[in-house]
């Protein structure tokens, strides 16, 4: 059996832990820049507010106090998440953290009765210790566990834990699940399936496997298998990430090249820091720019440029200078840019970097690496104190809108440092 533990309305629940007065009220959490809705309480869902709704469309509701909006506070959510995950991993042999608010539990070797009571106890323990309500779905495959967790969340009678543990329950659950709600069936696929008369997960499962194979791809066949109770989506191997990205939309559109250089430098510096933190280095650095895709009245331009380095890089200096080089390749005056970002990929572990045969810059590289190490050390105590001259003073998140931000309740030192900076 697989168990999927899913935190209910996670970001909203995090806010409520520290502001209990939000309990029972319609609350939403907004994305960066107070752009759109990314988490909703049950009450705001009931009002018909959809995931991804642009904030300006519900601003009147918020201004009149009928809905409470919070700016997102990722430092807080990350910290709450790790508290939840710690409790889970202390309680079962192995967990796989699937996202900030979800984890699969490996329950091998436990007998069924034990599993059910363990899951009930776990849900209680997480709520008691962290204050976050969770739903747990139990089933023979991950896809069915996802389905089960939806039922656990939707119907109070389950008390937070729902098991799909026989065929009758499986059929019943699938018949009540819209095809688009199935894990792995996205918008495009769902509409194709609906066109072919398939509206529920059961409709899909009842088609012959050969039909799925002929009309769709391997991913859909796996989903079909999983819905039938055959596990075929593997436990993710704990590999390192294959790419790292830092990007932001801007509150105000940017036209000036120097301003973009400063922002891209910040994003690149952030990528370099993430690389060093997990002990890897990158052969490829990509910079991309977006104009505002919602403005039909303006010229659109979505360029990107990728540069390769001969020796995998993780120093702030090198990643920043390559990202800026890529930016200068794609920058065109006359456009208003709404978003930019830097991606580093083709990653290797820092210990396994292959030196280039004619690396005339070897000394320079090793000095830059040492300097970056030093920057990390200083910056860990004084966030953002040391930076390259091309970077912005302050933090790249400064200047983006967050007018409804909660305090950094669990990481208060960071709070103070941010205020100083």
Partner DNA sequence: TCTGGGGTCCTAGGACCC
Q: Does 102 bind DNA (CB under 7 A)?
A: yes
Q: Does 36 bind DNA (CB under 7 A)?
A: yes
C-alpha neighbours within 13 Å on the C-beta side of residue 51: 6
362 and 370 Cβ atoms separated by less than 8 Å: no
The conformation of residue 322, written as its DSSP 8-state character, comes to H
Q: Which of residues 334-393 bind DNA (CB under 7 A)?
A: 338-339, 341
Q: Does 178 bind DNA (CB under 7 A)?
A: no
Comparing C-alpha atoms, which of 349, 414, 353 is closest to residue 379? 414
The least distance separating DNA from the CB of residue 30, rounded to whole angstroms, comes to: 8
Q: Which of residues 139-168 bind DNA (CB under 7 A)?
A: 146
Which ranges constitute the DSSP H helices of 196-241?
201-206, 209-215, 218-227
Comparing C-alpha atoms, which of 184, 185, 178 is closest to residue 150? 178
Q: Which two tokens stand for residue 65?
A: 């106090």
The least distance separating DNA from the CB of residue 185, rounded to whole angstroms, comes to: 5
Comparing C-alpha atoms, which of 286, 263, 299, 304 is closest to residue 388? 263
300 and 332 Cβ atoms separated by less than 8 Å: no
Q: Does 92 bind DNA (CB under 7 A)?
A: no
The least distance separating DNA from the CB of residue 111, rounded to whole angstroms, comes to: 28
Q: Does 182 bind DNA (CB under 7 A)?
A: yes
- Relative to beta strand 37-40, strand 2-7 is unpaired
Which residue do the tokens 């990728």 mark?
Answer: 306
Beta bridge partners of 349: 280
Q: Does 186 bind DNA (CB under 7 A)?
A: yes
Q: Does 217 bind DNA (CB under 7 A)?
A: yes
266 and 391 Cβ atoms separated by less than 8 Å: yes
List the beta strands (DSSP E) in 323-378. Answer: 337-349
Q: Which of residues 393-412 bind DNA (CB under 7 A)?
A: 400
Q: Does 101 bind DNA (CB under 7 A)?
A: yes
Q: Does 49 bind DNA (CB under 7 A)?
A: no
Q: Does 297 bind DNA (CB under 7 A)?
A: no
Q: Does 292 bind DNA (CB under 7 A)?
A: yes
Q: Which of 242, 358, 363, 420 binds DNA (CB under 7 A)?
A: 242
The least distance separating DNA from the CB of residue 314, rounded to whole angstroms, comes to: 14
- Relative to beta strand 161-163, strand 134-139 is parallel
The least distance separating DNA from the CB of residue 377, rounded to whole angstroms, comes to: 22
Q: Does 38 bind DNA (CB under 7 A)?
A: yes
List the beta strands (DSSP E) in 350-399. Answer: none
The least distance separating DNA from the CB of residue 328, rounded to whole angstroms, comes to: 19
Q: Which of 19, 83, 228, 274 binds DNA (CB under 7 A)?
A: 274
**Residues contributing to the site for DNA (CB under 7 A):** 31-33, 35-36, 38, 52, 54-56, 59, 98-102, 146, 182-190, 217-219, 236, 241-249, 251, 253, 274, 292, 294-295, 306, 338-339, 341, 400
């Amino acid at each position: 059996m697989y168990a999927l533990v899913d935190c209910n309305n996670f970001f909203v629940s995090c806010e409520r832990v520290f502001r209990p007065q939000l309990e029972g009220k319609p609350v939403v959490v907004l994305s960066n820049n107070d752009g759109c809705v990314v988490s909703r309480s049950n009450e705001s869902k009931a009002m018909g507010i959809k995931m991804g709704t642009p904030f300006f469309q519900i601003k009147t509701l918020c201004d009149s106090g009928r809905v409470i909006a919070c700016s997102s506070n990722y430092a807080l959510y990350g910290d709450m998440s790790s508290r939840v995950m710690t409790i889970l991993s202390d309680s079962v042999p192995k967990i796989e953290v699937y996202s900030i608010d979800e984890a699969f539990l490996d329950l091998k070797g436990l007998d069924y009765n034990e599993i059910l009571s363990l899951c009930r106890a776990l849900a209680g323990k997480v709520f008691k210790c962290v204050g976050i309500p969770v739903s747990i779905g139990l089933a023979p495959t991950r896809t069915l566990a996802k389905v089960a967790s939806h039922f656990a969340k939707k119907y109070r009678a389950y008390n937070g834990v729902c098991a799909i543990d026989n065929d009758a329950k499986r059929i019943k659950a699938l018949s009540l699940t819209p095809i688009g709600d199935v894990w792995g069936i996205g918008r495009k696929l769902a509409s194709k399936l609906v066109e072919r008369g398939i509206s529920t997960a059961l409709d899909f499962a009842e088609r012959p496997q050969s039909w799925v194979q002929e009309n769709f791809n391997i991913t859909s066949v796996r989903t079909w298998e999983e819905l039938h109770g055959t596990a075929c989506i593997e436990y993710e191997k704990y590999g390192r990430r294959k790419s790292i990205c830092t990007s932001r939309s801007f509150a105000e559109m940017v036209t000036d090249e120097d301003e973009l250089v400063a922002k891209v430098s910040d994003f690149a510096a952030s990528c370099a820091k993430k690389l060093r933190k997990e002990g890897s280095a990158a052969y490829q650095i990509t910079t991309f720019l977006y104009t505002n895709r919602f403005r039909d009245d303006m010229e659109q331009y979505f360029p990107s440029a990728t540069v390769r380095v001969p020796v995998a890089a993780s120093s702030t200096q090198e990643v920043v200078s390559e990202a800026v080089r890529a930016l200068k390749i794609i920058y065109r005056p006359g456009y208003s840019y709404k978003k930019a970002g830097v991606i580093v990929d083709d990653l290797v572990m820092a210990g396994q970097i292959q030196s280039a045969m004619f690396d005339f810059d070897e000394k320079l590289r090793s000095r830059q690496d040492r300097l970056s190490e030093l920057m990390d050390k200083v910056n860990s105590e004084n966030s953002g104190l040391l930076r390259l001259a091309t970077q912005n003073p302050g933090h790249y998140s400064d200047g983006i809108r967050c007018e409804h931000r909660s305090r950094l309740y669990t990481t208060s030192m960071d709070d103070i440092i941010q205020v100083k900076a």
